[in-house]
Structure 1
Amino acid sequence: MTKNTNGTRSATTLVIGGNGKTGRRVAERLQGLGRAVRIGSRAGEPPFDWDRPDTWGPALHGVDRAYVTYHPDLAFPGAADRIGAFAEAAVAAGARRLVLLSGRGEEAARLAESRLQASGADWTVVRASWFNQNFDESFFLEPVLAGEIALPVGEAVEPFVDAGDIADVVVAALTDDRHVGRTYELSGPRLIGFGEVAAELSKATGRRIAYVPVSDAEYRAVLRENGLSEEFAELFTLISDGRNAHLVHGVEEVLGRPPRDFADYVREAAASGVWDVRG
């Protein structure tokens, strides 16, 4: 907790992954509302590390709510145990309001959700589709710059959601009691295949960016060659098997407005210069 100028105490929110795609936006929005924020990261003060439970207590000191994101993914082995242990530690430390970022269609992530819900916290779960910002702030950035996006998803479609919309929903859940005990599923306003993604990117950048379908085995081989875990390939099943190939309406339900369209995101990101290739 921090003191206001009038001597009263104001809530402090721990934003785990506060330098990441959604965490950074959540922190900025909370600060814009005059809320005290603590960034939960290895470089934070105090530091927070999912692999070091001894860092959780200091990071939770004086905190009354938290936005919980887990790296690399809630579906990975060990995630549920860590989420459960953290949620129990948070409640014991006085941080009862917990908002968990989860994934749409990730059955393996449901155990982590259940563990957080069983902690006694005032919880909200936000399940999101794949992010627009994966193309300019994450693992699709290098393929876009190289001009070729090679993925094992065939002609499948995905309702990409904007990280800004996720952040707005999370801030509402952290600050409004009406969202306690609710699970929200978020998507963008339309279904998009990666061929269309490549076309949108090509139009916005003025250069050719191709989508190249590859097999699961080919993609796993690329992961091995680059020293990455093959478990990342399993995440693409969420797209390739069509389980999330439909729209959901959590953004409208929480915020009372439609979600941001992928084309609007692409135009803004392109204008920032993030995809400029200089020879």
Structure 2
Amino acid sequence: MSQKVTLVLGGTGKTGRRVADRLRERGVAVRIGARSASPSFDWTDEATWTPALENVDRIYVCYQPDLAVPGAVDVIAKFSSLAVRTGIKRLVLLSGRGEDEAEASERALQASGADWTVIRGSWFFENFDEGFLADSVVSGSVFLPVDEVTEPFVSCDDIADVAVEALLDDAHIGKVYALTGPRLMTFAQAVAEIAAAANRRISYQAIPVSDFAAHLKADGVPDDYVELIRYLFTSVLDGRNSSMTSDVERVLGRRPREFADYARETAATGVWSLAA
């Protein structure tokens, strides 16, 4: 019988790529779950699910674009039930901290009968260099519909480290971990730290959410993604997540990564430098 593999859904994304790399470093056979992979995996095409599940014994479940989008709960329910019927019980779900819709998806996965772990992530450090904020940072002007609300930004590296522990150690079955960084910051403070690390001027301005949505649409961002961003900035960033947890240290035995270290190391790559 061939070696069982771990399926990493979203395996080309910010957290999935890191999870896959860490599993391989531990000698774990990995299958990437993505449209570009072989076999292909597409959340919107159920015909791709069964081939991707063949010979799999555990799954990192990262839903795209976000568990907050309409229909996510039904998709997660169908997929997790199929996995359990196939004989795959170990499911680790990446969820969102403070997202009511995401928690509904958590419950759907838990109801499947899986041996589950839920990881609720705060806002990623890497949204500033790998995500939708990267172009704004490079341009030198970051505009967002959030002012003084603080967020415990967290590193995707910490999320991946916790996810790998959850996948490989049954001690984490039935646990919900809310992952945060080691301090609270406003978005303006985060941008200021990036500017200092990159040694250049990068301004931050809070704007009305309607203006931000109009700007995204003008840039050709699809309506469903605009609505997702609108939801995240108006509902999730209302102060409900302005607190920290010790869950990273609880799982990994170390403090979470510092934003200042991320800013310094990322700036050194030149990703935030102005084009010559």
**CA-to-aligned-CA distance 1:41-72 (integer Å, 9 cap, x gap):** 00111000000000000000000100000111
User: Cα offset for 1:237?
Assistant: 2.5
- Equivalent residue number for residue 5 of structure 1: none
Residue type at the aligned position of 2:54: H
Q: Which amino acid aligns with 2:173?
A: V
1:157 is paired with a residue whose SS is coil
Question: Unaligned stretches of 5+ in structure 1?
Answer: 3-9
Q: Detail structure 1 runs of 4+ shifted over 3 Å in the superposition.
A: none
* Aligned partner letter, 1:173: A
Alpha-carbon displacement from aligned partner over 1:152-197 (angstroms, at most 9, x marks no partner): 0111111100000000000000000100011000000000112211
The CA deviation at 1:226 is: 2.3
> Aligned partners of 1:154 and 1:91: how far apart in 2?
44
Paired residue for 2:26, among 33, 45, 53? 33
What is the aligned partner in structure 2 of residue 254 from structure 1?
Answer: 251
> Paired residue for 2:267?
270
Q: How has the CA–CA distance of structure 1 residues 22 and 157 changed in structure 2, closer, same or farther, with 3 Å as cutoff?
A: same
Matched position secondary structure for 2:15: helix
1:75 is paired with a residue whose SS is: coil
Q: Distance in 2 between matches of 1:164 and 1:195?
A: 23
Q: Report the alpha carbon displacement of residue 198 of structure 1 after superposing the two structures with TM.
A: 1.8
**What residue is the counterpart of 1:6 in the other structure?**
none
Say whether residues 1:66 and 2:63 are aligned partners.
Answer: no
Q: In the alignment, is residue 55 of structure 1 matched against residue 65 of structure 2?
A: no
CA displacement 1:247-272 (0-9 Å, x = unmatched): 11210111111100100001111111
> 1:191 is matched by which residue type in structure 2?
L
Give ranges in structure 2 of 5+ residues lacking alignment: none
TM-score calculated relative to the size of structure 2: 0.96
Amino-acid identity (%): 54
User: What is the one-letter code of the residue matched to 1:202?
Assistant: A
- The alpha-carbon distance between structure 1 residues 81 and 119, as it changes in their structure 2 partners (threshold 3 A), is same
**Which residue in 2 is equivalent to 1:94?**
87
Equivalent residue in structure 2 for 1:165, among 158, 167, 176? 158
Aligned residues of 1:66 and 1:97 also touching (Cα < 8 A): yes
Asked if the contact 1:157/1:239 (under 8 Å) is kept, the reply is no
SS at structure 2 position matched to 1:64: strand
- Structure 1 Cα separation of the partners of residues 18 and 26 of structure 2: 13
Counterpart-to-counterpart distance in 2, 1:80 and 1:195? 33
Name the counterpart of 1:224.
Answer: 217
| Whole-angstrom distance in 1 between the partners of 2:236 and 2:137 | 19
Q: Which residue of 2 aligns with 1:237?
A: 234
Counterparts of 1:110 and 1:149, CA distance in 2: 30
CA RMSD of aligned residues (A): 1.1
Any residues of structure 2 matched to 1:100-111 within 5 Å, and which? 100-111=93-104
Structure 2 contact 209–234 (Cα < 8 Å) conserved: no
Residues of 2 paired with 1:175 and 1:240: CA distance?
33
Conserved? CA contact 1:158–1:239, under 8 Å: no
Partner of 2:201: 208
Q: Hey, what does 1:116 align to over in structure 2? A: 109
Question: C-alpha distance in 2, partners of 1:59/1:158?
Answer: 36
**Distance in 1, Cα, partners of 2:55 & 2:207:** 49
- What is aligned with 2:129? 136
Q: How far apart are 1:11 and its partner, in Å?
A: 3.1
Please, which moves more after superposition, 194-203 or 124-133?
194-203
Whether contact under 8 Å (2:91, 2:116) holds in the other structure is: yes
Letter in 1 for 2:273: D
Cα contact 1:154–1:213 (8 A) shared by 2: yes
Following superposition, the deviation at residue 239 of structure 1 comes to 5.2
Work out the CA distance in 2 between the residues paired with 1:94 and 1:45: 21
Q: Is the 8 A contact 1:60 1:90 kept in 2?
A: yes
Q: Is residue 90–residue 167 contact of structure 2 (8 Å, CA) maintained in 1?
A: yes
SS at match of 2:56: coil
Distance 1:52 1:203 in 2: 45
